[in-house]
Amino acid sequence: MYGDEMPDVTIHEVKTDCEKSMDGIVIFPITFGKCITISEEMIMVNTRLRKGRLIITMFIIAGVLFAADALRRALFMNTDPNIIVDNGIVKTYNTGGNPEADSLENSEMNQQEELPEGYAEFDISATQLVSGTLVYVDYEHPYVSLDMMPAVNLVNYRNDYYTLVNETDPVILNEEAATALNFMMADYYEATGRSNFLVYGTTDTYTGEGSYCPQFFPESSTGNTIDLAVNVGTSVLTYDGCDDEKWIVDNCHNYGYIVRYPEGKADITGAGFCPWHLRYIGKIHASIMKDLELCFEEYLEFLGGFTFDHPLSYNLDGTLYDIYSVKSTGETTSAYVPVSRNYIISGTNTDSFIITSIKC
């Protein structure tokens, strides 16, 4: 049984269960009525064999566990490199293979997309591309009026800190812009003691011979622009942006207005310095333009570089805003908008929408 190294075994006649011999050898009973005498050397051999078997058994168990874990990973873990999670949204990327399988996978993943926390998906109509305070209008990008913004007649709406070129004919301005104009002129009076500005035109400014605002701009049709002149005694002068009246050029951004054609930007805007032509775009955007010293063309291009995933964040008067651009995709464009915070969507009249939302 144990080979050549097996110790000698002596068999004795027994009458009892088991005894121990005088020389320290243990005697175990066997079935045919005799006992086997086992020396201490044999016990040590048996112990070594048991340890060896235990070690081999442990290696076998470890191997089985390793193989089982590898099988579990292969069956249940997704290692598809074409699937990533970006900002909480599951996205798939087709890198070849079976087109039908890829299409099915994309369809299933789209159903599992999770909306970013605090946001909802909103469909923007293509008609809104030409609406809002950030629409870009020139001869190549004409304005199509859809009467989507409330307008007022300054004849009835203005305050006492400026006058109109004509107090009988309608002078139309979008209500938000008109309210900001009233505040600006009141603060101009507070700062200078003057109320000498005259609104020469808004949507229908006369620019013919003898006009104090000698250049016509197609964006006047948006209802977001004003053309200014200055009353000096009984005379009317073109506003040149100098002297006390320079306060308007320096401070109009605080009321959401910009000098649409500023100094030093003629190569971009196509027009020289026109301090008398102001454009309303809203305080947040006018303030950013002022800080960065951008003209309107540069600003729209600048905003085009920001997305929902990577918005422009700007702190204005203690309120943090997020601003991002969304490319138009046709009749309907899907965009993420806040669920419980205010936001404004403006078209650009080109190829995108600008979303401005309060972050906190």
CA dihedral 325, 327, 331, 333 (to 10 degrees): -60
Q: Which residues, including other chains, have CB under 8 Å from residue 221's CB and lie 6 or more apart?
A: 137, 143, 145, 203
- Report pLDDT digits (tens) over 155-188: 999 999 999 998 889 999 999 999 999 999 999 9
Tens of pLDDT, residue by residue over 119-130, are 999 999 999 999
140: tokens are 């190549």
Q: Please give the Cα distance from 261 to 289 (Å, whole number).
A: 13
Q: Which CATH number fits domain 120-134+293-360: 2.60.40.10, 3.30.200.180, 3.40.50.1820, 3.40.50.720?
A: 3.30.200.180
Contact between 190 and 219 under an 8 Å Cβ cutoff? The reply is no
pLDDT beyond 70 at 49: no
Rounded Cα distance, 1 and 38, in Å:
14
> Residues in the chain, how many?
360
Q: What residues does each domain of the chain span?
A: 3-76, 83-114, 120-134+293-360, 147-280
Please give the average per-residue pLDDT across 87-96, as a whole number: 35
The owner of tokens 């008398």 is 276
Q: Calculate the average pLDDT of the chain.
A: 80
Question: 93-102, 259-268, 271-280: which range is least confident on average?
Answer: 93-102
| Joined tokens for residue 175 | 């209500």
Written as six digits, the tokens of 226 are 């004003």
At 69 the pLDDT is 64
Give the span between the Cα atoms of 82 and 261, in whole angstroms: 48
Confidence check: pLDDT of 244 > 60: yes
Tokens of 36: 């086997």
pLDDT of residue 113: 60
Please tell us whether the domain made up of 147-280 is placed in CATH 3.40.1390.20: no
Q: Which residue has the higher pLDDT, 194 or 205?
A: 194
pLDDT at 22: 43
d(CA 55, CA 57): 5
Please report the DSSP string for 62-122 in residue order.
HHHHHHHHHHHHHHH----TTEEEETTEEEE---SS-HHHHHHHHHHHHHT--PPTTEEEE
Task: State the pTM of this model.
Answer: 0.69
Give the Cα-Cα-Cα angle 156, 342, 328 (nearest 5 degrees).
95
Phi and psi, residue 78, nearest 5°: -85, 115
**pLDDT tens profile 308-341:** 999 999 999 999 999 999 999 999 999 999 999 9
Q: What phi and psi values does residue 279 have, to the nearest 5 degrees?
A: -125, 130
Q: List the structure tokens of 267.
A: 């190569």
Query: 21 or 53, which is more confident?
Result: 53
